[in-house]
Amino acid sequence: MSEPLVSTQTAIEQLRKADDRWRAAVRGLDTYPKRLRALAEAAEHESRALTLADLANVGWNPRPGASKLRLAYEVEEQSGRPGPPALWKQFDRAVTQLGVALEGASIKALADAFSKLSQVAGELADACEQQQSEPQRRTG
């Protein structure tokens, strides 16, 4: 193993901060655009913190059963999610990919999975915001 590029302590501190933000975003009760935006930002922070941890040679302990990951009811298909169904399918695939990565031993794969989820959740937030503003434009 090569010498770490950052200290383990720094990497672990950043992971803890990112984990706290992630938990808050998953449990948030905001409207769809705000909640999806918070989820996207939290996933991006997780990705960055995991990348930093990888540079610090921090290992990842696989989480058995994580491939069945579910976030919150509001982002589940049966909840009547607003926005483009095609983007929601990408979101569902990104959540599945995240669950698979959580079960694996690669911190890089986990960082990539969070990054993908961040990208898709951000696109969904944009689409939901646009959808909410369209009726206002028509009546205004």
State residue 74's pLDDT score: 77
Length of the chain: 140
Q: How many domains does the chain have?
A: 1
Span of 31-40, 55-64, 75-84, 103-112 with lowest mean pLDDT: 75-84
Residue 97 in any domain: the answer is yes
Residue 31 in any domain: the answer is yes
Residue 48 in any domain: the answer is yes
Residue 2 in any domain: the answer is no
Domain around 93: 8-139
User: Is residue 81 a contact partner of residue 65, using CB atoms and an 8 Å limit?
Assistant: no
The token duo for 113 is 């999975």
Residue 3 in any domain: the answer is no
Residue 39 in any domain: the answer is yes
pLDDT digits over 55-83, tens only?
Answer: 999 988 999 999 888 887 777 877 778 88
In this prediction the pTM is: 0.88
Measured over the CA atoms of residue 21, residue 25, residue 29 and residue 35, the dihedral's sign is positive
Residue 1 in any domain: the answer is no
